[in-house]
Homo-oligomer: A and B are copies of this chain.
Amino acid sequence: MKTAPASARADEPRWLTDEEQRVWRSYIDATTLLEDHLDRQLQRDAGMPHVYYGLLVRLAESPRRRLRMTELAMSAKITRSRLSHAVARLEKNGWVRREDCPSDKRGQFAVLTDEGQEVLRRHAPGHVDAVRQAVFDRLTPEQQKSLGEIMRIIAEGLQPSEAGADLPWLR
């Protein structure tokens, strides 16, 4: 990367200013370190990466502890392919079970098993602690609010456009 030119030419890209660069580096550093940290914590304690844990959480919060594959994928912001592999693995662990969708023979539900529920119950405290220690305990209430707003803005800008608004089975 470069510093912003004193006089910007039209064909020159708008480089990041020094200050923007510092912000961006901090973002990269923080997200890299944090993802790594949480992955390690959960891998060690619960035997799965952070994304997988997130999948279980979403299932646990859903009615009848189940979600259509596509719905779960969108909710977790991952591809269906990735989810397929993930669920296969979680199924092997006995934490998730697949069920056919009665109304659409192509459809599959991912269902949280009792074992899955139990794993979650057992490891949620440790995970929450990790998140608190790394994030919330270090930020003022204003910063927390700010972080929420900023992240919401960034996420909205990247959403596959109004996704989820048009799932037939939700209507």
Contact = CB atoms under 8 A, between A and B. Distances in A.
A147 interface: yes
A79 to B, nearest CB: 9
A143 B150 contact: yes
A29 interface: yes
A77 to B, nearest CB: 4
Given A13-B129, A128-B15, A33 B159 contact: yes
Interface size class of A (residues with CB under 8 A): 35 or more
A5 to B, nearest CB: 13
A98 B32 CA distance: 25
A133 B26 CA distance: 18
B148 A135 contact: no
Interface in A108-161: 124-125, 128-129, 131-136, 138-139, 143-155, 157-159
Contact of A29 (B23, B28, B151): B151
Contacts of A37: 158
A35 interface: yes
